[in-house]
Structure 1
Amino acid sequence: MTRHPHTHDDHTHHPHGGHAHGDASHAVDWAVFGTLLEKNAELSTPALEQTAEWLRGLLAVPVRRALDVGSGPGGATCLFARAFPDAEVVAVDGTPELLERAHARAERLGVADRVRTHLAELPDGLADVGEADLIWSSKAVHHLGDQQGALDGLAAALRPGGVLAVSEGGLPLRALPRDIGIGRPGLLARIDAVQEEGFTEMRAELPGTKEIVEDWPAMLGAAGLTGARSRTFLVDHPAPLDAPAREMLHIELARLHERLADRLDATDRATLGRLIDPDDEAGVLRRPDVFWLSAFTVHAAVKPR
């Protein structure tokens, strides 16, 4: 992977993914961003467990080896290690700081004997990773100029009967009512629009970028895989949020406040500032109406035997 922030579970395209689209001039604080991604993985665990069960039903072979490509701090890596207890699971990422977190997470969860890490940049770095029965990649392919070429490379590393699953798209986070009593109603919708503009700019600036209709099942088919299908999984934590979810939301909004400062108008910047103020009763750490609702879409297909 290139050193873009991920979402892995984590990419801030939307907080579930955890990628930080927008102004690339901001240096990434991996300690802060790694924490965000780990908190995100914990919030998304029930949905990722459902994902693993769905993928199990698509596989035509036992999973002896799995790759988490663009793994970040290993949220999905460790989950797949638990879901497929006979498998070696490899966290593949281009950021050493995040791979260190993935290793530490595997140790904490008691799966370090079957989890290993591999430092690699995509797409060329896949050549040294080896084949696998299950390849998972969340919010990583869209950071590569040639998305179809990336899927072709991932499909080539898949063993016959195995499944390639990519998490791309879904629904953006909703965490507040439309009218929150301060600023103008519809703040999150305007932030979505700004981030989509940033995403388009990011894609245009990637080396070797190629325009393509992002029909992910069709792209999987073009990579030589069969039976392509998609399913969307919901991450739903209703109000009132518990402390860990509130903390994660606070971190995410603080990052948005920093990264989007020059893209939002003065009113929205001020509103966002109040939302992240720990001493403000209107802030997300204090108000009772904050929630967490998002969705991620997984596209999967099988390599013919």
Structure 2
Amino acid sequence: MSGHTHDHIDWADRLVLLHAADTFDAPAHSAIAARLVAKLPANPTVIDLGCGAGGMSTHFAQALAAQSGGTIILVDATPELLREAERAVRAAANVAQANRADGSPQTHNGRAPESRAEPPGGNRAAVEDDARAADGTARTAEGITPTTDGIAQTVEVRAVVADLADGSLPDLLPAADLVWASRVVHHLPDQQAAISSLTAVARTGGVVALAEGGLSFSCLPWDLGLGRPGLEDRLQAAQAEWFVGMRAGIDGTVPMPYGWPLALERAGLADVSSFSALVDHPAPGPDGLADYVHHHLSRLATHGADHLSDEDRATLAALLDPDSAHYLGNRRDLFLLGARTVHHGRRP
């Protein structure tokens, strides 16, 4: 059964699309993870709020393993997604650990890693408990799990089912060196209040980073050989109209009539800045691109149905129909181009 979501979207039903997006976003996510982890102290705690299928945290796991190791806590309100995220991130952490050629403890800025992993539940007193047992096992959300060959994992992974709009969220999680939320805050009723809660989860000196905004993804040539040229521009306009309705349909929605950097400043963060990472897969694109574009356009067709002309709906139907002469899967001019923007600040 899917967890409660404020936007009334069945995110578990979108698992295939989320996996595909994670695949094509991988180069950008890797660059973002490396840039953010470089800001952190040795053996940090990273919390991925609204983790989805776990794509971003697989890159956090790799970046942490390349430095001093650490702990990743995955948080989502949808149990199906959380289970898949935990599986994927644990696998990435294990691969990264296996790739450490000499097997010796890694250092960060010349310091040996410290063990200060913390359990995700309970109060602030409880999270001060040491995460290592005397027999070399590691504590996880499920209990005590033996590590490979009696050696502690470089990167520990835990999962917590929680609602990001819950005002008690800071009491459910340990203080983090990095709090990450990707394209999730805009689905919550009060975005500013949510950012304030994320800030409260960060420890003093910790980083809060949001992936929001950026440049909309393009994947189609301007003239498709059917219908009126410029279909993708109209699809993006229809998506924007759907988004307005989605926000309006969230119970208790609160407007946020200013940009993300200002929202971070209003939450009390210092040194607020932004950067973007390019997602660029030129035509004909890698394997699987046509399937991803099909999923992407199918979603836009659903969202924009009431905001498109009959001609555009017919064009979309032809592009998405495997039996059509214009089926997009037969094209060699599909591509994927866009940008992910990250807004970040540090808790004073």
Instruction: Mark the CA change 1:243 to 1:281 in structure 2 (over 3 Å): closer, same or farther.
Output: farther
Question: What is aligned with 1:264?
Answer: 308
Indicate the RMSD between aligned Cα atoms, in angstroms: 2.1
Name the larger-Rg structure: 2
Q: CA deviation at 1:138?
A: 0.6
Instruction: Mark the CA change 1:152 to 1:296 in structure 2 (over 3 Å): closer, same or farther.
Output: same
The AA in structure 2 aligned to 1:96 is P
Cα deviations by residue, 1:61-81 (Å, 9 ceiling, x for unpaired):
335211110101111122111
Mapped to 1, the partners of 2:82 and 2:256 lie a distance apart of 31
List aligned pairs for 1:125-136, cutoff 5 A. Answer: 126=169, 127-136=171-180
Question: Quick check: 1:280–1:286 contact (8 Å CA) kept in 2?
Answer: no
Between the two proteins, the alignment pairs up a number of residues equal to 282
Instruction: Mark the CA change 1:164 to 1:110 in structure 2 (over 3 Å): closer, same or farther.
Output: closer
Cα deviations by residue, 1:205-230 (Å, 9 ceiling, x for unpaired):
32332222332112111111110001
Cα deviations by residue, 1:185-222 (Å, 9 ceiling, x for unpaired):
11111111111111112222323322223321121111
Question: What is aligned with 1:115?
Answer: 157
Q: CA deviation at 1:286?
A: 0.9
Question: What is aligned with 1:142?
Answer: 186
Question: What is aligned with 2:247?
Answer: 203
From 263, 285, 297, the equivalent of 1:241 is 285
- Does 2:77 match 1:78? no
Q: CA deviation at 1:2?
A: 5.0
Instruction: Mark the CA change 1:89 to 1:77 in structure 2 (over 3 Å): closer, same or farther.
Output: same
Q: CA deviation at 1:137?
A: 0.3
- Does 2:50 match 1:47? no
Higher RCO by CA contacts (8 Å cutoff, separation 6 or greater):
1
Cα deviations by residue, 1:140-171 (Å, 9 ceiling, x for unpaired):
11111211111111011101221100011011
Mapped to 2, the partners of 1:268 and 1:44 lie a distance apart of 28
The AA in structure 2 aligned to 1:56 is V
Mapped to 2, the partners of 1:101 and 1:4 lie a distance apart of 21
Instruction: Mark the CA change 1:301 to 1:173 in structure 2 (over 3 Å): closer, same or farther.
Output: same
Mapped to 2, the partners of 1:190 and 1:2 lie a distance apart of 32
Percent pairwise identity: 40
Mapped to 2, the partners of 1:162 and 1:221 lie a distance apart of 14
TM-score of the two chains, using structure 1 as the length reference = 0.86
TM-score of the two chains, using structure 2 as the length reference = 0.76
Question: Quick check: 1:77–1:115 contact (8 Å CA) kept in 2?
Answer: no
Structure 1 unpaired stretches of 5+: 6-23
- Does 2:48 match 1:68? yes
Structure 2 unpaired stretches of 5+: 96-152
Mapped to 1, the partners of 2:318 and 2:225 lie a distance apart of 11
Question: What is aligned with 1:30?
Answer: 12
Cα deviations by residue, 1:24-56 (Å, 9 ceiling, x for unpaired):
5xx73734x101101111111110111112223
Question: What is aligned with 1:98?
Answer: 81
Structure 1 residue matching 2:86: 3-state secondary structure? helix
Structure 2 residue matching 1:260: 3-state secondary structure? helix
Mapped to 2, the partners of 1:275 and 1:37 lie a distance apart of 21
From 146, 152, 176, the equivalent of 2:220 is 176
Cα deviations by residue, 1:100-158 (Å, 9 ceiling, x for unpaired):
21122134434496222111012216231221110110111111121111111101110
Q: CA deviation at 1:258?
A: 3.5
From 183, 208, 214, the equivalent of 1:164 is 208
Instruction: Mark the CA change 1:91 to 1:29 in structure 2 (over 3 Å): closer, same or farther.
Output: closer
Cα deviations by residue, 1:215-255 (Å, 9 ceiling, x for unpaired):
21121111111100011111000000223122111122223
Instruction: Mark the CA change 1:212 to 1:29 in structure 2 (over 3 Å): closer, same or farther.
Output: closer
Instruction: Mark the CA change 1:39 to 1:28 in structure 2 (over 3 Å): closer, same or farther.
Output: same
- Does 2:5 match 1:3? yes
Instruction: Mark the CA change 1:107 to 1:130 in structure 2 (over 3 Å): closer, same or farther.
Output: closer
The AA in structure 2 aligned to 1:155 is T
Mapped to 1, the partners of 2:84 and 2:6 lie a distance apart of 16
Question: What is aligned with 1:19?
Answer: none
